[in-house]
Chains A and B, each alone.
Chain A
Amino acid sequence: MSVTKRVPLSKLAPGEKGVIVAIRSRGPLRRRLLDMGLVRGETVFVERVAPLGDPIEYAVKGSHLSLRRKDAADIIVEIAETEGVYAAG
Chain B
Amino acid sequence: MTVRRLKVALAGNPNAGKSTVFNALTGAHQHVGNWPGKTVEKKEGYFQHRDLLVEIVDLPGTYSLSAYSPEERIAQEFVTAEHPDLVVNVVDASNLERNLYLTAQLIEIGAPLIIVLNMADIAEQLGYKIDVERFSQLLGVPVLQTAASKGTGMAALKDLIYRAAENPAAFTPPPAALQYEHEMERAVRQLTAALEALPDLGGYRSRWLAIKLIENDAQAVEVLRNLPGGEGVLALLPKILEKLQRVYGDEVDIALADARYGFVRGLTRQTLTLPHCPPRTVSDRIDQIVTHRWLGIPLFLFLMYLVFNLVQNVSAPYMDWIDGVISGPVSAWTLAALHALHASPWLVSLVMDGAIAGVGSVMVFIPSLMVMFFTLAFMEDSGYLARAAFVMDKAMGFLGLNGRAFIPMILGFGCNVPAVYATRTIENRAARILTGLLIPFMSCSARLPVYVVFGMALFGKDAGLVVWALYLVGIVTAALAGWALSRWVLPEVRHSVFVLELPRYRLPTLQGLWLHTWEHTWEFIRKAGTVILGIAVLLWFLLNLPWGVQNPRESYFGQISATIAPVFTPAGFGTWQAAGSLISGFVAKEVVISTMSQIYIGEEEAAAPPPLELHPLDDLKNIAVDFGAATLDAGKSFLEALTPGVRLFSAEEDDASNQTALSRALSQVFTPLSALAFLIYVLLYTPCMATVAAQAQEYGWRWAVFSVLLGLTPAWALAVAVFQIGRLLGVG
Contact = CB atoms under 8 A, between A and B. Distances in A.
Interface string A15-58: 00000000100011111111111011100000011111111010
Contact of B98 (A27, A30, A32, A61): A61
30 contacts: A31-B68, A34-B254, A35-B63, A36-B63, A36-B501, A37-B97, A39-B254, A39-B257, A40-B254, A50-B291, A50-B393, A51-B291, A51-B292, A51-B293, A51-B296, A52-B391, A57-B390, A62-B94, A62-B95, A63-B501, A64-B501, A64-B502, A65-B499, A66-B390, A66-B499, A66-B502, A67-B499, A68-B498, A71-B497, A71-B498
Nearest to B294: A51
Nearest to B297: A51
B640 to A, nearest CB: 28
A37 B64 contact: no
B297 A32 contact: no
A23 B501 contact: no
Interface residues of B, number: 38
A43 to B, nearest CB: 12
Interface of B: 63-64, 66, 68-69, 94-98, 101, 253-254, 257-258, 261, 287, 291-294, 296-297, 386, 389-391, 393-395, 495, 497-503
Q: Is the interface of B mostly helix, strand, loop or mixed?
A: helix
Nearest to A27: B495
Contacts of A63: 95, 98, 501, 503
Contacts of A57: 291, 390, 502
Given A28-B68, A31-B253, A54 B393 contact: yes
Interface residues of A, number: 33
B467 to A, nearest CB: 30
B253 A51 contact: no
Contacts of A37: 97-98, 101, 261
Contacts of B500: 55, 65-66
Contacts of A39: 254, 257-258, 261
Contacts of A67: 499
Contacts of A41: 258
A67 B291 CA distance: 15
B98 A50 contact: no
Given A57-B291, A65-B499, A68-B498, A52 B261 contact: no
Contacts of A71: 497-499
A65 B386 CA distance: 10
B291 A28 contact: no
A27 B495 CA distance: 10
Interface in A65-85: 65-68, 71
B679 to A, nearest CB: 34
A29 B497 contact: yes
A41 B94 CA distance: 21
B296 A50 contact: yes
Given A55-B500, A71-B498, 13 more contacts: A40-B258, A41-B258, A48-B291, A49-B293, A50-B291, A51-B293, A55-B393, A57-B291, A61-B97, A65-B500, A66-B390, A66-B498, A68-B498
